């Protein structure tokens, strides 16, 4: 029953997303969509996924959406053709294919379904003994399929560096036509230095007189940071881990930037440091793998890291989760600062 009502909310939100033309509302609705999805994952028992969806989908993605709206200084989508028949047909065909594909799927919750009988039993029965980690999701993510997680961390790293490349200042260097340089194309971030900042959320000017927000926010930041560390360390035992912890950690900085201005937050986390940590996390993760090779195991085999294989597994998982946390936090902060500041520090 809860499932169905949550699903209905998601459908309604999705339809709303399609109809709305106000981009601020679109960002809000997609936040709601993610939050509802997160609730659905909780009900389905996938708490780790729910945690990630809530912190990434509903949390940081919404903040980044708002930041980019502030940059483009428009709240309305450019009206193009409202009705696009080929697009509708493609969407309908895809949807129909998906539904057709699920006709033969195993029944919901069927204990004999292949996903429960083939690979999963070993994870469920032996992961505690093999890795010493009670949270099965963490042991699969960090050890059994740890190489995928290294890849995902690299994706986050790529995204962070990509934003640096694209939105850092002075990216087009020989500009032949000064009119083009000054005007900026439609949908492009303003290129002229000094013109940005005023409309950015978190510019100190906006928030200067909001004492309640500032004091309240100040009070919130330490618990958020503490919660981030808890999530980082607790990933072995319950839902949590580097991805979520990194996002939560970054959100404390983003909150600080919103309340006290990007330059103040920048003083705490300078561009050069963030760039370093962005790279460091990936290096820690990949380096743990190399350590495994040097100690005589396969790549990312943590068992050889300590005298006892299970201790080695635990140590390896803690280390790589740390790498994930560092890179994710740095990437999120980099993306936000670059969006919010169009920061001159980025390229010096």
Binding site for other proteins (CB under 8 A): 97-98, 100-106, 113-120, 122-123, 143-148, 150-152, 154-155, 157-159, 161-162, 164-166, 168, 170-174, 180, 185, 188, 275-276, 278-280, 282-283, 286-287, 289-290, 292-293, 297-303, 347
196 token code pair: 């940005």
Q: What CA dihedral angle connects 86, 91, 97 and 103, to 10 degrees?
A: -140
CA 49 and chain centroid, separation: 12
Taking the C-alpha atoms of residue 255 and residue 257, their distance in angstroms, rounded to an integer, is 5
Least distance from other proteins to the Cβ atom of residue 97, Å: 5
For residues 162 and 205, which CB has a smaller minimum distance to other proteins in the complex? 162
Cβ proximity to other proteins, 215 vs 347, nearer residue: 347
Query: What is the smallest separation between the CB atom of 109 and other proteins, expressed in angstroms?
Result: 13
- Candidates 200, 201, 183; CA nearest to 192 is 183
CA 317 remoteness from chain centre: 20
- If you search the block for the tokens 């980019």, which residue do you land on? 68
Q: How far is the CB of 227 from other proteins (least distance, A)?
A: 27
**Shortest spacing between CB 323 and other proteins, in angstroms:** 10
Closer to other proteins by Cβ: residue 95 or 223: 95
The residue (of 137 and 252) whose beta carbon lies closer to other proteins is: 137
Residue position matching structure tokens 């709601």: 32
Considering the complex, what minimum distance in angstroms separates the CB of residue 180 from other proteins?
7
Runs of H (alpha helix) within the chain: 2-19, 23-43, 47-52, 61-72, 85-102, 114-117, 120-131, 136-139, 146-167, 178-183, 204-207, 211-234, 242-260, 262-268, 271-294, 309-341
- Report the nearest approach of other proteins to the CB of residue 10 (Å): 17
State the minimum distance, in angstroms, from the CB of residue 235 to other proteins.
18
What SS3 state is found at 58?
Answer: helix
| Closer Cβ to other proteins, 18 or 264, answer by number | 18
φ and ψ of 295, to 5 deg? -90, 10
Taking the least distance from each CB to other proteins, the nearer of 232 and 334 is 334
Question: What is the rounded CA–CA span in Å between residue 138 and residue 130?
Answer: 13
- Which SS3 state, helix, strand or coil, does residue 84 take? coil
The size of the chain, in residues, is: 348
Is the separation of the CB atoms in 66 and 11 below 8 Å? no
CB of 154 to other proteins, least distance (A): 5
Closer to other proteins by CB, 135 or 231: give it: 135
Between 14 and 293, CB nearer to other proteins: 293
């Amino acid at each position: 029953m809860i499932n169905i009502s949550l699903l209905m909310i998601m459908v309604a939100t999705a339809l709303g997303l399609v109809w709305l033309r106000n981009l601020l509302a679109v960002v809000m609705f997609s936040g709601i969509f993610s939050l509802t999805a997160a609730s659905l994952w909780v009900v389905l028992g996938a708490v780790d996924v729910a945690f990630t969806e809530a912190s990434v989908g509903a949390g940081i993605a919404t903040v980044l959406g708002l930041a980019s709206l502030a940059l483009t200084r428009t709240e309305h989508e450019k009206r193009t053709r409202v009705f696009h028949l080929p697009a509708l047909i493609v969407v309908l065909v895809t949807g129909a294919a998906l539904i057709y594909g699920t006709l033969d799927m195993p029944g919901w919750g069927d204990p004999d379904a292949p996903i429960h009988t083939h690979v999963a039993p070993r994870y469920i029965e032996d992961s505690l003994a093999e890795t010493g980690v009670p949270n099965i999701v963490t042991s699969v993510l960090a050890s059994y399929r740890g190489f995928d997680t290294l890849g995902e961390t690299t994706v986050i790293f790529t995204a962070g560096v990509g934003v640096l490349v694209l939105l850092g200042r002075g990216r087009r260097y020989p500009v032949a036509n000064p009119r083009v340089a000054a005007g900026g194309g439609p949908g492009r971030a303003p290129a002229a230095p000094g013109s940005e900042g005023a409309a950015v959320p978190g510019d100190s000017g906006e928030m200067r007189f909001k004492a309640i927000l500032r004091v309240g926010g100040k009070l919130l930041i330490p618990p958020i940071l503490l919660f981030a560390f808890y999530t980082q360390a607790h990933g072995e035992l319950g839902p949590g881990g580097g991805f979520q912890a990194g996002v939560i950690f970054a959100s404390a900085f983003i909150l600080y930037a919103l309340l006290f201005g990007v330059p103040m937050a920048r003083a705490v986390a300078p561009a050069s440091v963030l760039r370093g940590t962005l790279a460091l996390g990936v290096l820690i993760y990949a380096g743990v793998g190399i350590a495994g090779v040097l100690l005589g195991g396969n790549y990312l085999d943590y068992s050889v890291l300590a005298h006892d294989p299970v201790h080695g597994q635990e140590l390896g998982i803690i280390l790589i989760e740390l790498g994930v946390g560092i890179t994710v936090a740095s990437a999120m902060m980099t993306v936000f600062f670059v969006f919010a500041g169009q920061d001159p520090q980025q390229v010096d």
